[in-house]
Structure 1
């Protein structure tokens, strides 16, 4: 389980390493371009019920920490899906299966 440390928040954001690796590419690309957007997720079962959203901005400190030393294989389709959602008014919304470690659901199925 990887972790995002964002700004001065004392609450780390835990996301499965594979999902976090994909998010890292999309987030750093957007922030490098000076673009701001939101990232939302449903709380995992071991946390109080609900969902959270953060506003990602280039001026706010951000750190990604991965449990696994090896980078997972990245899916270009998944990264494109995340990047496209970042460009919407709703921002990126991680689905439960993405946070838990599965591939995103195929919209064709």
Structure 2
């Protein structure tokens, strides 16, 4: 479990596997100048659903608990990117 701080909000405990996908989507948002919702489950609070508006102009700080890289496939990343582009939101 790592930490994510979005904008000036309080840090949130999030699974590292989710964090790596959020970081990849943030890079996409920054590259394309797009903004979209990202939905995920917050393990630290009983699996409650969280939705954030991922915008390239809002600061995003991620701290991973794991030292080794968390794998994400190119196909999965492409699918997430396409969903975000078409639907305006994506679940990770």
TM-score when scaled to structure 1? 0.69
More strand by share: 2
Where do 5+ consecutive residues of structure 2 fail to align?
none
Larger helix fraction of residues: 2
Larger Rg belongs to: 1
Whole-Å Cα distance in 2 between the matches of residues 90 and 59 of structure 1? 17
| Superposition CA RMSD, Å | 2.1
Instruction: List per-residue Cα deviations over 1:1-52 (Å, max 9, x = no partner).
Output: 1222100112x233221232233122212223211111112343x5267422
The number of equivalent residue pairs is: 92
* Inter-partner Cα distance in structure 2 for 1:58 and 1:3: 19
The alignment's TM-score, normalised by the length of structure 2, stands at 0.79
Secondary structure at the aligned position of 1:40 is classed as: strand
